[in-house]
Amino acid sequence: MKKDPTQEKSENKNELKEKFNHWKAEQDPKLVDDYFQFIRQYLTQPPTKLEIMTNRNVMVKACESERFAIPPKAYWNNIIGSLKLLDQLYRDAYFERYTITAMYRSPSLNTCVNGAKQSKLVYHYAVDFHVLDPKETHEQDRKLLVKALCQFWQAEGKKLKMGLGMYGNNRFHIDTQGYRTWGKDFKSKSSPCLKESVN
């Protein structure tokens, strides 16, 4: 008998939470709390510790053990611009709920997933996030969200040095390390923001 997909998702979430709690128990509790407090001060929607210390992007099994990490303290301030930008989008009601899926990718995880050598995640400059509301299953709302984010990028992106990755299914990347955009294949040509239909 096949499992219900929602049941599988719930089991995966519980398994990830267990692994995270096991990892967290082995860390310096002060460092965990200091990092958590540092990040949450920039966000109106309060994140969880699991959100900000776990890379929840899809990855192969061999890389699973590298999911959890706290960036070196020297990198902490790198993320401030991207957090403020994410919070601005949230406060300006581009979306109602979201969850952070990645902010830091350790060099060993980056190697494991064949990430770009200069990936902004490695230096704690970027935020990957998944918009939960509007839901990705509501096609019209999803299209409006993409259009609105593209219009924001076109109007404000240059001034903010905003990088905007559009991965489909309400999954996005933002950073403040250069005005550019890309789509699912990490190339600019595939970004919805550069297609005439967005305007």
Cβ atoms of 56 and 16 within 8 Å: the answer is yes
Strand order in the sheet with 180-182: 97-102, 126-133, 171-175, 163-166, 180-182
In angstroms, the CA 13 to CA 48 distance is: 14
Residues in contact with 129: Cβ distance below 8 Å, sequence separation at least 6, in sequence order: 86, 98, 99, 100, 101, 171, 172, 173, 174
Q: Which amino acid is at 154?
A: Q
Walk along the chain (199 residues) and give the pLDDT tens digit of each residue: 454 444 445 558 899 999 999 999 999 999 999 999 999 999 999 999 999 999 998 888 899 889 999 999 999 999 999 999 999 999 999 999 999 999 999 999 999 998 888 889 999 999 999 999 999 999 999 999 999 999 999 999 999 999 999 999 999 999 999 999 999 999 999 999 997 544 4
Burial 166-182 (b: 16+ CB within 10 A, else e): bbeebbbbbbbbebbbb
Q: pTM (2 decimals)?
A: 0.90
Residue 59 burial by CB count (10 A; 0-12/13-18/19+): exposed, middle or buried? middle
How many domains does one find in the chain?
1
Residues in contact with 165: Cβ distance below 8 Å, sequence separation at least 6, in sequence order: 128, 172, 173, 174, 181, 182, 183, 186
DSSP 133: E
Range of the domain at 109: 5-198
Helix (H, G, I), strand (E, B) or coil at 82: helix
In angstroms, the CA 170 to CA 53 distance is: 21
